Structure formats: C-alpha cells, structure tokens
Amino acid sequence: MRILILGGDGFCGWPSALHLSAHGHQVTIADSFVRRRIDDDLGVQSLTPISSLAERVSAWEEVTGREIDVAEFDLAHDYDALTDLLTVLRPEVIVHFAEQRAAPYSMKSPSLKRYTVDNNLNATHNLLAAVVATGLDAHVVHLGTMGVYGYESVPVDLPEGYLTVSYPDRDGHLHTRDILYPTSPGSVYHLTKSLDQLLFQFYARNDGVRITDLHQGIVWGTQTDETALDSRLINRFDYDGDFGTVLNRFLVQAALGHPLTVHGTGGQTRAFINIRDTVRCIRLAAESGADVQGRVRVMNQVTETHRVSDLAYLVAQTVGARISAVSNPRAEADENQLSARNDHLLGLGLEPTRLASGLLHESVEIAQKYAARVDVSRIPCTSYWNRDRRTSAQEHAHE
C-alpha cells in the first residue's frame, strides 16, 4: 500500500515507518522536524544519538534496498503543501503522528499550552479537511491516547472508545445508543487528543472519512527489529522531565545511579506497551482499513497495566537502584485502578510483548551504553500542573 506517515521522524513515527517499509509498503514520511528543534530549545538531547532524517533514510536504503521518500512541511500551518502532496501521492493510508505528545511540556507555560492546542488541533483538522478536499478514499490512522478516558477508578474494563448507554425518553421508554466514552483529560496535551475525537466523529459522519483512532498507553523501550539493524537507524530515547515517559526514565535513572523519581505515592496505575508492539499495531491497523466503514474505529493500543511504584520496584530489583518519592508536579489522583479491553488488536493478531519478556534488559543496556550523554540536571520534572503543585514542590524541597 502507499502509506503517508505524518510525523515520521519522531519516537513512534520513525520505527513505524521502517516497520511498514520492511513489510513491503511504499512509505513517504512528512515531518517539520519540530521535535528536534524542541530538544534544542530545551537544551536536551535524546539519550541515543539520532541521525538526521536524510541520513536515516539513506542508511535504510543501503541496508535493505528499500526506499522511503521524505517531504518537509508543517502540517498545522502549511495546508497547501499537504494538499499538493496528497494530490500527487494519492496515499491509501495516512498515519497521523504529527502532534505535540508530551503532557509535562504542554503544561509548562501559557505559551506551550497555546502551542500544543494550536499545533495539535490544526494538524488534525487540516488533515481531515484536505482528505475531503482532494477526494481521497484514504484510511486515516491516528495515534490517540489512553489518557482520553481519564484515571478515575471505575468498576469496568475500559471499553474501546464507546460506551453503550440507556436512558428513558419523555414517555419513559428506554433508548440505547453508543456514545464516545466521556473524556477526562489530565493535561492540555491529553485535552487535544480528546478534542481530536470530536473532529474524527464529525468527518466520519459528514464526509464518510474512514478513520481508526488508536488509544495508546505509555510506550517503553526504544529499539525495534528494524531500528536495530544499523546504528544510523537508532530510535530516539527521551529521559528528560518534559518528554521522558515513566519507565524509560526509571531505566536511565537506574543506569546513572540516580534515585528513581516516583511522583507522590506511585499508586498511579497506567497502561503500557512496548515500542515493538506499537509498530506492529500501526501495521495491523493500516492493513485492516477495509474493515472501517461508518463510525470511527477505536482500538486500545495497550498490552498491560502497572502501578508506577511497582515499575520502580521492578527496575530497582533489576538494576539495583534507590527509589525516591518526589512531590508530584501533576494534579492527578495518588491512587487509581485501571483495566482496559484490547480485543480489537488481539483479534487482528497482536501477540503482546510483556514487561516480563526480558526486553527490560535491552533498555538497561542502551541506557548504560549512552549514559555519558545524559544531562542529570534535566531529569527532574519541573513542569507543574498548577500553583498548588508548584508550592508543594517548593515546600518539599525545603523539608
């Protein structure tokens, strides 16, 4: 299939591009390289030394003989470049990763809140409007987030996108329908993915756009079979307080002998997935587009759930680190329970890679290999969700 990957230079986009190319798809990457500029602005770098996109695709061709085309433009603001590319390429699948994806970064300042909303919503809406305007029957595959559901402890396994509700009409007769699961985003970033859902619902209903929204959990790991083929193909690995995600952060911290930064009690339960499963899920979603007609298909892209404190304990046991409870910079429940359905992707053939699979050691080795690249001062998360959180952190620091 001809597949366009928007945001194909990023943490999920790059390994997905390689995986789809390795499976015989004709891949084009579009990217504005903003993620690399954000690293420069923040004064941090990926733990792993990543090559430029031009070097990456030429290394891929050298190693596998497969070509990946590249287009550079800003999806959120260059609508004409997008329609020009769609008209020429006529992709059958468009995978949309081109959004600001970090919750702490989205809560860091008023300007970054506004940037995240402006970038993410314009990017998604430009894509949908352009698909309609160019008359393409392309299947849009979007990387959403489990965070749209929120983290209240509910006595159900979270369904995949929709909740079946029954309510009485004015004559007392019961009516039943499926509605989008009520959203409860925990950050401006998660809010944008919640709003994306409404854009998708509208364009699916109004224009018949075929859309799959993948509600992904927290990704851990960095390498896939394809990125491991050559050092120039290596994937990025974020460890800093803005972009690093919890398990990958703990692994780097352990490799450096830094105490593991558990926010609050660590009773937060979250959904997880290994990056190798992410790329497989993207391929399974892309290749099953014929199943998508009518309403948006929502699939929970998760393989297991864990409490943050259990992950810290596991890493401490595996690598030998100390655990430190830090004041939680986020306004989130200290404790929650979470369980989610993932029947759709299992039904498409996903075989989950569990934390117990041994891949933790691969990440530990990578963290140890590149430990000298880490700027320890960038480890703490200094993005506070609100004034109370900032004040608590300051009081905690003086204790």
Contact pattern for ligand USQ over residues 100 through 139, marking x by CB under 6 A: -xxx------------------------------------
304 binds ligand USQ (CB under 6 A): no
Return the residue nearest ligand USQ (CB atom): 147
Span interacting with ligand USQ, options 51-59, 152-160, 212-220, 384-392, rule CB under 6 A: 212-220
Select from 357, 143, 364, 100 the least CA-distant residue to 248.
364
Distance in Å, CB of 156 to ligand USQ, minimum = 17
Integer Cα distance of 71 and 91 in angstroms:
14
Q: Exactly one of 98, 298, 308, 350 binds ligand USQ (CB under 6 A); which one? A: 308
- At position 135, the amino acid (one-letter code) is G
CA distances from 258 to 50, 322, 377 (A): 24, 8, 11
Q: Exactly one of 224, 261, 278, 303 binds ligand USQ (CB under 6 A); which one? A: 261
315 binds ligand USQ (CB under 6 A): no
Select from 150, 84, 89 the least CA-distant residue to 332.
150
Catalytic status, residue 145 = yes
Span interacting with ligand USQ, options 24-32, 241-249, 292-300, 339-347, rule CB under 6 A: 241-249
CA distances from 121 to 77, 128, 181, 195 (A): 11, 11, 20, 8
Catalytic status, residue 181 = no
250: tokens are 């703990």
Select from 308, 307, 289 the least CA-distant residue to 299.
289
DSSP class of residue 158 equals B
254 binds ligand USQ (CB under 6 A): no
Contact pattern for ligand USQ over residues 149 through 188, marking x by CB under 6 A: ----------------------------------------
Q: Which helix (H) or strand (E) holds 112?
A: helix 110-133
Q: Exactly one of 57, 211, 218, 279 binds ligand USQ (CB under 6 A); which one? A: 218
Q: Exactly one of 180, 271, 279, 319 binds ligand USQ (CB under 6 A); which one? A: 271
Q: Exactly one of 330, 344, 378, 389 binds ligand USQ (CB under 6 A); which one? A: 330
Look at strands 323-326 and 260-263 and give their pairing. parallel
Distance in Å, CB of 74 to ligand USQ, minimum = 20
Q: Which helix (H) or strand (E) holds 64?
A: helix 53-64
Select from 273, 279, 218 the least CA-distant residue to 245.
218
Integer Cα distance of 145 and 277 in angstroms:
15
10 binds ligand USQ (CB under 6 A): no
Catalytic status, residue 189 = yes
When the beta carbons of 116 and 268 are compared against ligand USQ, the nearer one is 268
- 191: Cβ contacts below 8 Å, ≥ 6 apart: 117, 185
State the residues that interact with ligand USQ by CB under 6 A.
Answer: 101-103, 145-147, 216-218, 245-246, 249, 261-263, 268, 270-271, 308, 328, 330, 332, 381
